[in-house]
Copies of this chain bind each other. A is one copy, B any other.
């Protein structure tokens, strides 16, 4: 099986200077991978030349010229209406036309979501797309969704997020029955809000490996493989985590650069600190999946460098290989059969 990924080369803060070399490295890392580089041809060609691509590699690298770019601050509605020849739109169109198995963009998230939803449409049985990202935990990783696509959710939405997250973990992490938890608060008798209680009931009565409540700290303790929550809560959890990690990093740096003695200590501790940083390097966790669509779409962080963009590409390839869409479909039809039996 060959995996073909359409790459929006113009998206993100850096554009082709990052996306093209990362795509070439991706092709070199995986013998079963082809890429379609979508964007302004001149820009792409320049960085292709710099990478010194061989003839055999060239056969696996298609370039698709597009004259337009979706700006990072452009309104998603306008981008959807007006930018039909943008690198982002064409990359998604390639997935729609089955010319690519998946696409990756580090461009405007709102536009990516709006265009993907319009072009690809939703999977049967899934009402809303969700953004699912992977985070490091004490035991490995956790896939969390939704991270901001849906601010007001119903219990059914959270349940569907469970199906999608579980399918994604099966595909990428090769776990047949990943544990699924629901983000909740552990205060006294009345735990959680109405949404969480009703969603828990649905999850409990499904074919998912539902383990119940996961508290905020349980997320990083690795209590579950998948954690579902509404997009508002998920986005707050993600951003507060980023915020405190940044703060701790700044404080640590300040302490190590306080005087000549502490700077000497920093020098000696450097290899250890570097190992630590490598372990929690957010670049290793880049690549959020837009789940629920009839096609595989991934979003890279806008500020991603080539290493980070490459991590996202690896995740995209593994998602295709693992057959995430058919996994979601299987869970959905299982659920529908059960509902019919009970009615």
Contacts and interface: CB of A to CB of B under 8 A. Distances in A.
Interface string A92-120: 00000000000000000110000000000
B187 A216 contact: no
Nearest to A138: B247
B265 A247 contact: no
Interface stretch (A10-18, A23-31, A59-67, A228-236): A228-236
Given A151-B192, A192-B232, A247-B220, A239 B215 contact: yes
- In this complex, the member of A221, A269, A276 whose beta carbon has the largest number of chain B beta carbons within 10 angstroms is A269
A302 interface: no
Contacts of A244: 220, 241, 244-245
Copies assembled:
2
A76 B189 contact: yes
A245 B221 CA distance: 11
Contact of A187 (B109, B138, B258): B109
Interface in A223-272: 229, 231-233, 235-248, 250-252, 255-256, 258, 262, 265-266, 268-269, 271-272
A3 interface: no
Contacts of A137: 247
A280 interface: yes
A218 interface: yes
A255 B192 CA distance: 37
B280 A251 contact: yes
Contacts of A176: none
A217 to B, nearest CB: 3
